[in-house]
Amino acid sequence: MNILGIETSCDETAAAVVKNGKVILSNIVSSSLKEHQQYGGIIPEIASRRQMETIHAVVMAALKEAHLSLNDIHAFAVTQSPGFIGSLLVGLSYARALSFASKKPLIEINHIKAHIHANFLTFASDQKTPASKTPGPKLPAIGLIVSGGHTSLYYLKDFANYQLLGQTRDDAAGEAFDKVARILNLGYPGGPVIDKLARKGKNADIRFTCAALEGTLDFSFSGIKTAVLYYKNKYHQKEIFDVAKIAYAFQDSVVSVLINKCLLACRKKKVKTIVVGGGVAANSSLRKRLSNVAADHNINVFFPPLSLCVDNAAMVAGFAYHIKQYERNTT
């Protein structure tokens, strides 16, 4: 079954064709990110206008890269929520029109849950990123979604049953990276630049802490952002002020709390698999430290390849296939 996925929840306009929920035949992502950078964050109005202009070309490019025509597509999938309403409407309207005109099913899916699905995909042999040699994750698992808009922990019994275990009570982890980068004048998005800078500030003697919210699987990242702001206000004219060390200390604390909550979720649900998704899943420290700690606890941890951590439509198409299979098996 070939599913054509469409994703337009934020600044990316993406389309992909995925075969049988697993093999990526094409994966096209166009982004208006550069236009937003001067404002220090995504401007929804600009994002949706660019999406209207590019959606058709992006979908056509996805079909072309897959060497398929619309006749070879068996179903369509689209991100239904959450996201910027104007952006979502572009993808939704386009996908609904395609489905209506071709009389083929449309599966509307949740963007956050789709991020997790990036771990279950492989690339077709002619795609630029080679297929992973290791077997994919097995459910049940703990799913950690860390992006610019969301930080959530799920218990994944199967693809149709995601139980929310905890989430952020204020800022998302990626949002904290972005806001701290803005405080330190590092530009937008903040995640990649803080990740890089933190390598130079290793083992800094500064400490910032995230609220632990003991005993819960919830997160809070707004306090640490304010702590960085106060630190800057106090020390920015002093000799000890070192942006790399601040980046390291901030990242170290965020990564630690993400790891601790994942382990707690595994203990609570008696699960030995963790799957991570979302933009912050690209963070090198999170990838390394969570993999090491998980190995110490005999837990298997999975991260998507870097190209599938950011918003993309392959994860949408892949997830939709499993929803469809579930519906088929239960009706």
Site for ligand KG4 contains 10 (CB under 6 A) = yes
- Structure tokens, 271: 């699960």
Q: 222-235 and 243-269 helices cross at what angle (nearest 10)?
A: 160
Query: In angstroms, what is the minimal distance from the CB of 196 to ligand KG4?
Result: 8
Sketch the per residue contact string, 180 through 209, with ligand KG4: x for CB under 6 A, - otherwise.
---------xxxx--x--------------
Residue 7 interacting entry, from ligand KG4, Zn ion, none, C-beta within 5 to 8 Å by type: none
Residues whose CB falls within 8 Å of the CB of residue 208, separated by 6 or more in sequence, listed in order: 224, 227, 228, 231, 249, 250, 253
Kindly tell me which of 147 and 168 has the beta carbon lying closer to Zn ion. Answer: 147
Distances (CA, A) of 200 to 50, 210, 236, 244: 37, 22, 18, 6
Kindly tell me which of 17 and 308 has the beta carbon lying closer to ligand KG4. Answer: 308
Angle at 266 between CA 265 and CA 268, to 5 degrees: 60
d(CA 115, CA 312): 9
Query: In angstroms, what is the minimal distance from the CB of 248 to ligand KG4?
Result: 13
Q: Strands 2-7 and 141-146, how do they pair? A: unpaired
Number of residues in the chain: 331
- Structure tokens, 87: 């952006």
Kindly tell me which of 177 and 302 has the beta carbon lying closer to ligand KG4. Answer: 177
Kindly tell me which of 201 and 304 has the beta carbon lying closer to Zn ion. Answer: 304
Residue 294 interacting entry, from Zn ion, ligand KG4, none, C-beta within 5 to 8 Å by type: none
Residue 62 interacting entry, from Zn ion, ligand KG4, none, C-beta within 5 to 8 Å by type: none
Distances (CA, A) of 258 to 34, 156, 271, 294: 29, 18, 17, 12
d(CA 157, CA 148): 25
Which residues inside 273-292 make contact with ligand KG4, applying CB under 6 A?
A: 278-280, 282-283
Site for ligand KG4 contains 65 (CB under 6 A) = no
Residue 197 interacting entry, from Zn ion, ligand KG4, none, C-beta within 5 to 8 Å by type: none
Query: In angstroms, what is the minimal distance from the CB of 161 to ligand KG4?
Result: 22
- The secondary structure of residue 132, as a DSSP letter, is P
Which residues inside 143-182 make contact with ligand KG4, applying CB under 6 A?
A: 147-149, 174-175, 177-178
Site for Zn ion contains 147 (CB under 5 A) = yes
Query: In angstroms, what is the minimal distance from the CB of 200 to ligand KG4?
Result: 15
Residues whose CB falls within 8 Å of the CB of residue 64, separated by 6 or more in sequence, listed in order: 26
Contact residues for ligand KG4, defined by CB under 6 A: 10, 147-149, 174-175, 177-178, 189-192, 195, 278-280, 282-283, 310-311
Contact residues for Zn ion, defined by CB under 5 A: 147, 311
